[in-house]
Structure 1
Amino acid sequence: MDHAKPLPNYLVKRYHGWKATTYAENQVWYRRLATEGQRPRAMVISCCDSRVHVTSMFGADQGDFFIHRNIANLVPPFAPDGDHHGTSAAIEYAVTALKVAHLIVLGHSQCGGVQGCIDMCKGQAPQLEAKDSFVGRWMDILKPKYDLVADIEDSIEQARQFERQAVVASLENLMTFPFISAAVEDGSLSLHGLWTDIGEGGLQSYDPQEKKFVVV
């Protein structure tokens, strides 16, 4: 591979700062994690968005969360078709191998992926409609939920509601995985849907009985 380059200097400096402080103060814990393996209690599926930092939100340390990130925190339906399924593979490992007790889907405000899906549904994103658009084909997962927000005239409110529907869609798709539905039914796994407002630092949780998000 001839195209890889050395790490940017600012990242090198940050690494050395971490190694000299956080790591140095917790060497025993890091070595224990390395030798004994990971035992996270929860898996978190969140967006790739750099503004969403789940470990900071919950004060988590190394070993606390098994984290998978993708565009718009989406979970595809169960589909063992032989194609590459990075999200499905991460979920399978977390539930069947690591035996996590909680599976959390975390959505957020100002989600670019969700906005892209809205634009597609309105016929305003031809680049995402192209067959070779990975983002567009990924956001097809969410398209069926658009009818639930199509009549909302305020564009900001429409986006915020669709971001929440992305979380609901993922929760619904999680239950199509046989090993997840079995774990939920026997009480060894619980599913949780969250949405966070980046600017306000707010957090809402999905209430399946009320079918709405409520403030945490």
Structure 2
Amino acid sequence: MTHAKPLPSYLVQRFHGWRATTFSENKAWYRRLADEGQRPRAMIISCCDSRVHVTAIFGADQGEFFIHRNIANLVPPYEPDGNQHGTSAAIEYAVTALKVAHIVIVGHSNCGGVRGCHDMCSGHAPELEEKSSFVGRWMDLLRPGYERVKDIADEGERIRALEKQAILVSLDNLMTFPFVEEAVKANKLTLHGLWNDIGDGGLEQYTPEDGTFKPI
């Protein structure tokens, strides 16, 4: 394999800085994690967006969250068909092996994936309609959400509503996994939906009682 290159120097410098400070000051904790394995209390499913930093938002320590990131924080429905499913595999491992107590879907403002779905579904992104578009085929998961918000007149409000639909679609799809449904019904697992406004640092949570998102 000849195409792999050494890390950029700025990343090497940051690594040495981390090892000399954070790691050095917490060697016993890192050794414990290595020897005893991970016991995360929650699984976080968030967007790949570099602006969404869930460990910083919650002040989480190493070993506290089992994190999976994908485009637009989407969960596909339970479809065991022999194909490779990274998100489904992560959910299975979190629930059946790690026995997490919570699964938290974290969506956010100004999501490029959600915007792509909006443009594709409204006929303004033909490139995403191509069968060869990985992003387009992934964002097909959000088409039901688009159908629910497409009649909102203001485009900005429509896209923001679609960002929250991505969370709701994922919550619904989680319950199609038999092991998730079983754990939820046994009160061993709770599901949560959050939306983060990356511009003002706000966080809203979904309240099923009235079907709205409310500030935390």
Match of 1:201 in 2: 201
Give the superposition deviation at 1:152.
1.4
Equivalent AA in structure 2 for residue 47 of structure 1: C
Match of 1:38 in 2: 38
How far, CA to CA, are the matches of 2:132 and 2:163 in structure 1?
Answer: 24
How far, CA to CA, are the matches of 1:14 and 1:211 in structure 2?
Answer: 44
Match of 1:124 in 2: 124
RMSD, aligned CA: 0.5
Equivalent AA in structure 2 for residue 204 of structure 1: E
Unaligned runs of 5+ in 1: none
Please list, as runs of the form range in 1=range in 2, the aligned pairs for 1:1-216 lying within 5 A after superposition: 1-216=1-216
Q: Tell me, what secondary structure is at the counterpart of 2:141?
A: coil
Unaligned runs of 5+ in 2: none
Equivalent AA in structure 1 for residue 72 of structure 2: A
Give the superposition deviation at 1:145.
1.3
C-alpha offsets along residues 127-160 of structure 1, whole Å, 9 cap, x if unaligned?
1100010000000000111122111122111111
Equivalent AA in structure 2 for residue 30 of structure 1: Y
Displacement over 2 Å in runs of 4+: none
Identity of aligned residues (%): 69
Q: Tell me, what secondary structure is at the counterpart of 1:204?
A: strand
Q: Tell me, what secondary structure is at the counterpart of 1:18?
A: helix
Give the superposition deviation at 1:69.
0.1
Q: Tell me, what secondary structure is at the counterpart of 2:46?
A: strand
Q: How many residues align?
A: 216
